[in-house]
């Protein structure tokens, strides 16, 4: 079975990421592509979230009351979630068609980058016999 990957870089635009995810889910249901079309999101955290964690840990250690620690932890979580939403988001889409489904695979390869949320996300196609395939495969497997 041939594997083909698409890499889309949406930047910090969370709304377009959710539109793309919704479109992929609707295609999976409508065309019964459960195992043939899979995707994963990679959210890169900005350096600001690392700084916020580093500042929050010593502050939490110096406070002696449990309430103070709980407040510091909740502030850290809110900063992390805000920084996570502002960081660049990459979408990895895997097409996994068998050998006799070459026409279907080619149609999806042609269709996905031309649809609206994917157009402006600088699509990059990586096939099984290309140089960077092993890196993309490892990256896809490590993501949740």
CB half-sphere exposure, 97, CA atoms < 13 A: 18
Has domain 2-44+87-142 been given CATH number 3.30.70? yes
The 124-127 sheet, strands edge to edge? 37-43, 89-97, 2-11, 124-127
**pLDDT, tens digit (0-9, with 9 covering 90-100), for 75-132:** 444 444 444 467 899 999 999 999 999 999 999 999 999 999 999 999 999 999 999 9
Q: Supply the pLDDT for residue 116.
A: 92
State how beta strands 2-11 and 37-43 pair: unpaired
Which of the given ranges, 1-5, 43-47, 137-141, has the highest pLDDT on average? 137-141
Got the DSSP string for the chain?
-EEEEEEEEEET-HHHHHHHHHHHHHHHHHTT-TTTEEEEEEEPPPHHHHHHHHHHHHHHHH--SHHHHHHHHHHHHHHHHHHHHHS-EEEEEEEEE-GGGHHHHHHHHHHGGGSHHHHTT--EEEETTSTTHHHHHHHHHH--
């Amino acid at each position: 079975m041939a594997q083909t990957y698409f890499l889309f870089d949406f930047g910090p635009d969370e709304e377009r990421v959710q539109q793309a995810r919704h479109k992929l889910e609707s295609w999976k249901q409508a065309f019964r592509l459960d195992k043939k079309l899979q995707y994963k999101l990679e959210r890169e955290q900005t350096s600001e979230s690392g700084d916020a964690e580093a500042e929050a840990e010593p502050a939490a250690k110096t406070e002696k009351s449990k309430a103070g620690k709980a407040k510091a932890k909740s502030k850290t979580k809110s900063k992390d979630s805000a920084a996570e939403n502002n960081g660049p988001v990459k979408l990895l889409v895997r097409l996994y068609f068998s050998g006799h489904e070459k026409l279907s695979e080619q149609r999806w390869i042609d269709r996905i980058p031309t649809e609206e949320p994917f157009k402006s996300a600088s699509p990059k196609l990586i096939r099984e016999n290309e140089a960077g395939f092993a890196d993309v495969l490892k990256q896809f497997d490590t993501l949740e």
